[in-house]
Amino acid sequence: MSHFSSFNYRNHQLFAEEIPLTAIAAEFGTPCYVYSSAAIRTAYQSFDRAFGQRNHLICYAVKANSNLAVLNLLARLGSGFDIVSGGELQRVLKAGGDLQKTVFSGVGKTFEEIRIALAANIFCFNVESEMELIALNEIAGQMGKIAPVSLRVNPDVDANTHPYISTGMKENKFGIPAAEAERIYAIAQQLPYIRVSGLDCHIGSQLTEIAPFIEAAHKMLDLLARLQATGISIEHLDLGGGLGVRYDLEIPPTIEEYVKALCAATENYPQQLLIEPGRSMVGNAGLLLTRVHYLKHAPHRNFAIVDAAMNDMLRPALYQAYHSILPIAKRTGETKIYQIVGPVCETGDFLGHDRNLTLESNDLLAVMSAGAYGMSMSSNYNTRPRAVEVMVDGSSVHLIRARETIEDLYALEKIPT
Ligand SMILES: *Cc1c(COP(=O)(O)O)cnc(C)c1O
C-alpha cells in the first residue's frame, strides 16, 4: 500500500489521512473525488529536494488536475505551472499562482491565448511549429513585447507507454522534428520580438523507466551544443513531464531517482533545469469514492453497478487503464469476481474488470490513483452532473468543488422561440 501513502486501513476501514472515508461519503455524497493535501505536498517536496543545489523550476502540468485548491496548494509551496490553454492560465492566476514561473505548451495556441499570455509576462512559450513562432513574433510586435521562447523539439524517442500518451515519436503531432530544430532556432534568433530562452521536450506520460528520459536529455544536449556553436544561447533546459505512477504492479522510478538521473545527465551544463510533472504530483494523492448501487449476477458474470461512471473517470474506457478498487469497509465472507461498471449507456463504461471482492449493495468503494486525469477529463455525458471534490488536510476536510446540479448542465442552453 506504500504508493497510497495517505490512504490507509485502520480497523478494516479506509481512511484519507485522519478521516474515515465513510464520514466523507455521509457528508458529501457519492461519487466524490477525495484528495490528500499531505500526499501532494510530499510529492512536490520530493521533487524540490531531489534537485539539491541545482538551479531548477518545477512547472506542475495543470491539465492533470486543475482544481483551484490543488493549484493554490502547489503555488504556496513555490511551484510554477505548465499550461496548455488560456483557461488554464486564468486558473493559475485565480489560484494565486505565479505566471512568471509559468510555461505555455500546446500545438494550437490561439492568437487570443497568446495575447493574454504575453500581457501576463509568462516565463516562456514552448513553441511547437514554425507557423506558431511567426504568429507569436507578430503579436508580440503589435503589443510592444518580446516573447521568451523555447522550441519544443520532438526527439523521436520511444517512451514505451500507451500509444495515446506517447508524444515524442516522429509520428506524433507534438513538437518540431529534431532535424528542423536548428533551422527554426536560426529564424527565431532573427525575429525582432522573439527572445530565444530555452530548449524543450516532452516525450509522453506514465513512463515507468528512466532510460527514455535520459535518451531524450542526451539528444537535447547534443542539439544545445550545436545551437551554441552557432551563437544561440540557451538559458534553460525543459525536460517535460511524464514520470509514471504505480497503478497496479508497475514499479516506476521514484521521484528522487528520476530527478537525480536528470541532474546527472546534465551536470556539466549551467542551464536552469525545468520539469513539467503532472501525474506524478497528484496521481496517487486522489481517489474516487463511489457507492455500489445494484449487484447483478448474470450466468457468466457478476456486475457491481456503482454510481460513478466513465464520465467521472474516463481512463479505463479511453486507455484500458487499470485502477485498483478497494472496499472502504473490509467485509469477511465469500468473494466473487466482479465487473465494476457505471450507469452510462456504453459497454466501455467500466471502472474495473474481474475484481475479487466481497460486496453488498450500498457498500462504498474507492477507485484508487484517481488524482490525475480523473476530474480534469470528466464530462457531463448522459447528463450526469460532475462529482463533488474534497481535499483532506490532517483531520479537516474541505469542499473544493460543489457537486454540479442538473440546472448547471443546461444553464447555457436555449429553446428557439
Ligand atoms: C501532459 C503534459 C505534461 C505532464 O505529463 P505527466 O505525464 O502528467 O507528467 C507535461 N508537459 C506537457 C507539454 C504535457 O502535454
Grid cell for residue 131 = 507557423
The percent of residues above 70 in pLDDT, for the chain, comes to: 98
Q: Examine the domain organization and report whether 270 and 374 are in the same domain.
A: no
Mean pLDDT within 171-183: 88
Q: Examine the domain organization and report whether 204 and 293 are in the same domain.
A: no
Structural domains of the chain, count: 2
Active site residue 59: no
Helix H or strand E segment including 221? helix 211-229
Question: Residue 256: which residues within 8 A CB-CB, separation 6 or more?
Answer: 46, 49, 50
Q: Examine the domain organization and report whether 269 and 140 are in the same domain.
A: yes
**Closest C-alpha residue for ligand 1 atom 10:** 241
More confident residue, 365 or 175: 365
More confident residue, 159 or 183: 183
Whether 316 is in the pocket of ligand 1, judged by its Cβ within 6 Å, is no
Q: Examine the domain organization and report whether 267 and 306 are in the same domain.
A: no
Q: What dihedral angle (degrees, nearest 10) is formed by the CA atoms of 173, 179, 185, 187?
A: -90
Q: Which atom of ligand 1 is nearest to 372's Cα?
A: 8
pLDDT in tens, 37-68: 999 999 999 999 999 999 999 999 999 999 99
pLDDT in tens, 61-118: 999 999 999 999 999 999 999 999 999 999 999 999 999 999 999 999 999 999 999 9
| Contact of 327 with 358, CB cutoff 8 Å | yes
Site to substitute for ligand 1 among 79, 105, 162, 174, most atoms within 8 A of C-beta: 105
CATH number reported for the structural domain that contains residue 265 in this entry: 3.20.20.10
Q: Tell me: is residue 416 an annotated ligand-binding position.
A: no
Q: Examine the domain organization and report whether 264 and 333 are in the same domain.
A: no
Distance (Å, rounded) from C-alpha 87 to C-alpha 341?
32
Residues present in the chain in total: 417
Domain final residue pick, 245, 277, 309 = 277
Q: Examine the domain organization and report whether 263 and 326 are in the same domain.
A: no
Whether 61 is in the pocket of ligand 1, judged by its Cβ within 6 Å, is yes
User: Has residue 85 been placed in a domain?
Assistant: no
| Contact of 160 with 210, CB cutoff 8 Å | no
- Ligand 1 centroid – CA 354 distance (Å): 30
User: Has residue 212 been placed in a domain?
Assistant: yes
Q: Tell me: is residue 44 an annotated ligand-binding position.
A: no
Distance (Å, rounded) from C-alpha 164 to C-alpha 376?
17
pLDDT at 276 over 70: yes
Site to substitute for ligand 1 among 47, 62, 82, 154, most atoms within 8 A of C-beta: 82
Q: Examine the domain organization and report whether 266 and 295 are in the same domain.
A: no
Q: Examine the domain organization and report whether 111 and 250 are in the same domain.
A: yes
Q: What is the pTM of this model?
A: 0.97
Mean pLDDT within 258-266: 98
Q: How does residue 164 score in pLDDT terms, banded at 50, 70 and 90?
A: low
pLDDT in tens, 27-38: 999 999 999 999
Note down the domain range covering 264: 105-277
pLDDT in tens, 197-218: 999 999 999 999 999 999 999 9
- pLDDT recorded at residue 3: 82
Domain final residue pick, 277, 293, 326 = 277
Helix H or strand E segment including 262? helix 255-265
Distance (Å, rounded) from C-alpha 199 to C-alpha 154?
11
pLDDT at 1 over 60: no
Q: What is the mean pLDDT of the chain?
A: 96
Q: How does residue 22 score in pLDDT terms, banded at 50, 70 and 90?
A: very high
- pLDDT recorded at residue 2: 64
| Bridge partner list, 4 | none
User: Has residue 2 been placed in a domain?
Assistant: no
pLDDT at 258 over 90: yes
Whether 82 is in the pocket of ligand 1, judged by its Cβ within 6 Å, is yes
Q: Examine the domain organization and report whether 127 and 266 are in the same domain.
A: yes
Domain final residue pick, 262, 277, 292 = 277
Q: Where are the alpha helices (DSSP H) in 170-210?
A: 178-190
Whether 64 is in the pocket of ligand 1, judged by its Cβ within 6 Å, is yes
Q: Examine the domain organization and report whether 174 and 159 are in the same domain.
A: yes
Q: Tell me: is residue 319 an annotated ligand-binding position.
A: yes
- pLDDT recorded at residue 52: 97
- pLDDT recorded at residue 74: 98
Q: What dihedral angle (degrees, nearest 10) is formed by the CA atoms of 371, 376, 378, 384?
A: 90
Helix H or strand E segment including 149? strand 147-154
Q: Examine the domain organization and report whether 266 and 302 are in the same domain.
A: no
| Pairing of β 336-341 and β 302-306 | parallel
| DSSP letter, residue 243 | B
- Ligand 1 centroid – CA 245 distance (Å): 13
User: Has residue 301 been placed in a domain?
Assistant: yes
- pLDDT recorded at residue 283: 98
Angle, helices 111-119 vs 130-143, to 10°: value is 50
Q: Tell me: is residue 33 an annotated ligand-binding position.
A: no
- Ligand 1 centroid – CA 179 distance (Å): 23
pLDDT in tens, 292-322: 999 999 889 999 999 999 999 999 999 999 9
User: Has residue 94 been placed in a domain?
Assistant: no
Distance (Å, rounded) from C-alpha 79 to C-alpha 60?
7
Q: Examine the domain organization and report whether 304 and 268 are in the same domain.
A: no
Q: How many CA atoms lie within 13 A of 176 on its CB side?
A: 24
- Ligand 1 centroid – CA 278 distance (Å): 6
User: Has residue 56 been placed in a domain?
Assistant: no
Cell 453497478 belongs to 305
